[in-house]
Amino acid sequence: MTNTPIVTDMKVIPVAGYDSLLLSLSGAHAPFYTRNLVILKDNSGNTGVGEVHGGVAIKESLEAAIPFVVGKPIGDYRKIISTLFDAHNRIANSESLQNLDLSKLKDIVHGETAIEAALLDLMGKFLNCPVCDLLGDGRQRDDITILGYLFYIEDKNKTDLPYIDESDSKNPWYQIRRNRSMTPDAIVREAQALYDVYGFEHFKLKGGVLRGEEEMEAIEAVKSAFPNARVNIDPNGAWKVADAIKLCKGSSLTYAEDPCGTESGFSGRETMADFKEATGIPTATNMIATDWRQLKHAIIEKSVDIVLADPHFWGMSGSVRCSQILSDWNLTWGSHSNNHFDITLAQYVQCAAAAKGDITALDTHWIWQEGHDELTNNPHKIVNGKIHVSDEPGLGIEINMDKVMKANELYNKLTYWDRNDSISMQYFIKDWKFDSKKPSMVR
For residue 70, what is the domain's CATH number? 3.30.390.10
Is residue 206 part of the annotated active site? The answer reads yes
Q: What is the pLDDT of residue 101?
A: 57
Shared domain for 239 and 217, answered yes or no, is: yes
Q: What is the pLDDT of residue 348?
A: 98
Q: How far is CA 266 from CA 121, 301, 330, 395, 411, in A?
A: 43, 12, 26, 42, 41
Shared domain for 297 and 405, answered yes or no, is: no
Distance CA 320, CA 354 (A): 7
Shared domain for 85 and 154, answered yes or no, is: no
Q: What is the pLDDT of residue 88?
A: 59
Q: What is the pLDDT of residue 110?
A: 76
Shared domain for 352 and 291, answered yes or no, is: yes
- Phi then psi for residue 416, to 5 deg, are -150, 150
Shared domain for 166 and 105, answered yes or no, is: no
Q: Which residues pair with 434 in a beta bridge?
A: none
Is residue 438 part of the annotated active site? The answer reads no
Answer yes or no: is 177 within a domain: yes
Shared domain for 254 and 307, answered yes or no, is: yes
Domain span at residue 31?
Answer: 7-133+401-413
Q: What is the pLDDT of residue 362?
A: 97
- Among residues 53, 336, 380, 386, which one is catalytic? 336
Answer yes or no: is 81 within a domain: yes
Instruction: Tell me the angle at which helices 342-354 and 316-328 cross, rounded to the nearest 10 degrees.
Output: 30
- Roughly how many angstroms between the first and final C-alpha of the chain, as a whole number? 58
Answer yes or no: is 158 within a domain: yes
Shared domain for 218 and 99, answered yes or no, is: no
Contact 368, 342 (CB under 8 A): no
Shared domain for 204 and 106, answered yes or no, is: no
What is the total count of domains within the chain? 2
Shared domain for 252 and 308, answered yes or no, is: yes
Q: What is the pLDDT of residue 94?
A: 43
- Among residues 206, 312, 365, 386, which one is catalytic? 206
Answer yes or no: is 428 within a domain: no
Q: Show pLDDT as tens, one digit a residue, over the chain (443 residues).
A: 568 999 999 999 999 999 999 999 999 999 999 999 999 999 999 999 999 999 999 999 999 999 999 999 999 999 999 888 877 554 434 444 555 555 555 556 678 999 999 999 999 999 999 999 999 999 999 999 999 999 999 999 999 999 999 999 999 999 999 999 999 999 999 999 999 999 999 999 999 999 999 999 999 999 999 999 999 999 999 999 999 999 999 999 999 999 999 999 999 999 999 999 999 999 999 999 999 999 999 999 999 999 999 999 999 999 999 999 999 999 999 999 999 999 999 999 999 999 999 999 999 999 999 999 999 999 999 999 999 999 999 999 999 999 999 999 999 999 988 899 999 999 999 999 999 999 999 99
Shared domain for 219 and 341, answered yes or no, is: yes
Answer yes or no: is 424 within a domain: no
Shared domain for 87 and 123, answered yes or no, is: yes
Shared domain for 193 and 122, answered yes or no, is: no
Residue 179 sits in a domain whose CATH number is: 3.20.20.120
Answer yes or no: is 313 within a domain: yes
Answer yes or no: is 377 within a domain: yes
Answer yes or no: is 289 within a domain: yes
User: Within 13 Å, how many C-alpha atoms sit on residue 196's CB side?
Assistant: 13
Residue 12 corresponds to which amino acid?
Answer: V
